[in-house]
Amino acid sequence: MTAGGSERLREASAISGDGTPIGYCSLGEGPGLVVVGGVLSSGSEYLALAQLLAQDFAVHVMDRRGRSRSGPQRPGHSIDAECADLIAVAQSTGATAVFGHSFGGLVALETARRLPAFDQLFIYEPGVPLRGQFRFNWLDGYQQRLESGDRRGAFAWMVKHNGFAPRPLAVMPLTYVRPVLRLAIRRRQWTSMEPLLEANLVEHRIEAALDAPSAERFSTITARTVLMGGTKSPTVISQQLVTELAQVIPNSAVAILPGLDHLAPQHQPSQIATAIVANRDLLQPVRSGLPRTTRFTNPTSPTDSPPQPGSP
C-alpha cells in the first residue's frame, strides 16, 4: 500500500487465531482506530480516509484475508475467522475503536457483539442481512461463471441480479450489461477488483448464512456506536437498516449523511472522516454540523454474553 500526502505509512502484520497473517498499515498518532473494508476492496481503497483521520487517530487499515498483504481464505472460511482477524489486528495495535464499511461493518458488529473488545464503533452501511431483504439468488450463477473462467461475465451477473443495480441495468440483457460495465468500470478499478472475485463469493455466502429475522443479536454490543448511512444509497442498506440496528444497540447514534452513496468511504472520504471525528465521543451530546443525526439510547444494560459493485 502507498499513502498520499506527507503522512508516513508503517506496514505490519498480526497473526490470527488459525495462524493466518493479516496485514495492515498504520499512520497517524492518537487513540487507535482499525479500518475494516468491504467486498471487492483492499485496504489501499481506504487510505485516503485514513489520511484524513490521521490527525485525530492512529489509524490501522486492514487488508482483510484474501487480499494481497494477508493470508488466503481457508476452506470453510466463516464469520468466526473474520472476527478473529479483526481481534488479532486490534490486539497487535492496541486499538479500541473500529471503522467498518459494508461487509467490514458486519465484521465489526459481529466481533463487538461477541467480545467487549472495543470502546467505539463507527459503522457505515453494514452488510447485515435481515428478513431476506438482501438478494443472494445470484450466487450460484456467479460461481458457475467464475468456475468456467468467465470473470467479466460473473461480475456482470452479480451487478445485474444483486438487487442494487439501476433499473435500466437490471432489466437489460446480460449480453449488454457486460459491455456497459466494461465502459463504466475503469481499468485501474477492474485491476484491483478482479483478483478478489473469488473472495467476494465467499463473503457473500457468509452474509447469506447470517440472514436473521431481527437485529436483536446486536443488543449485546457494549461499545459506543455511530451508525452511518448516505441519502443516495438504497434505504434498505442505509437509513432503514442503521435505524433498526440503533434501536437494539445500547448507546448508539444514527448519522444520515446528505449526498453520499454506498462507496462514500472510498470516493468521498472527507464527509465520512468529518462524521467520525464529530461523533467520536458519544458520552457527550452528538456535535452539530451533521444534518439529521439522531441519538438512540437503550436503557437496558447489555447481557454478559458477548451500480455499486458488491453492495452491500
Mean pLDDT for 71-84 is: 98
* Pair (33, 156) in one structural domain: no
Structural domain includes residue 70: yes
pLDDT 10s digits, 190-246? 999 999 999 999 999 999 999 999 999 999 999 999 999 999 999 999 999 999 999
pLDDT of amino acid 312:
67
pLDDT 10s digits, 278-300? 998 753 433 333 333 454 433 33
* Residues paired with 212 in a beta bridge: 130
* Pair (89, 226) in one structural domain: yes
- Look at strands 120-124 and 97-101 and give their pairing: parallel
Structural domain includes residue 4: no
Q: What is the rounded CA–CA span in Å between residue 22 and residue 19?
A: 9
pTM of the model: 0.90
Q: What is the rounded CA–CA span in Å between residue 126 and residue 109?
A: 8
Give the phi and the psi of residue 125 in degrees, each rounded to 5. Answer: 45, 65
Structural domain includes residue 5: no
Mean pLDDT for 105-125 is: 98
Structural domain includes residue 156: yes
- The answer to whether residue 304 scores a pLDDT higher than 80 is no
* Pair (20, 52) in one structural domain: yes
* Pair (202, 219) in one structural domain: no
Structurally, how many domains does the chain consist of? 2
* Pair (155, 63) in one structural domain: no
Q: What is the rounded CA–CA span in Å between residue 27 and residue 61?
A: 9
Structural domain includes residue 247: yes
pLDDT 10s digits, 151-170? 999 999 999 999 999 999 99
* Pair (177, 192) in one structural domain: yes
Structural domain includes residue 266: yes
User: Which residue bears the cell 457494549?
Assistant: 222
pLDDT of amino acid 280:
86
* Pair (220, 93) in one structural domain: yes
Q: What is the rounded CA–CA span in Å between residue 101 and residue 45?
A: 11
- Classify residue 196 by its DSSP letter: G
Identify the domain containing residue 226 by its residue range. Answer: 10-129+211-296
Q: What is the rounded CA–CA span in Å between residue 206 and residue 191?
A: 24
* Pair (124, 236) in one structural domain: yes
* Pair (244, 100) in one structural domain: yes
Task: For residue 240, give the CATH number of its domain.
Answer: 3.40.50.1820
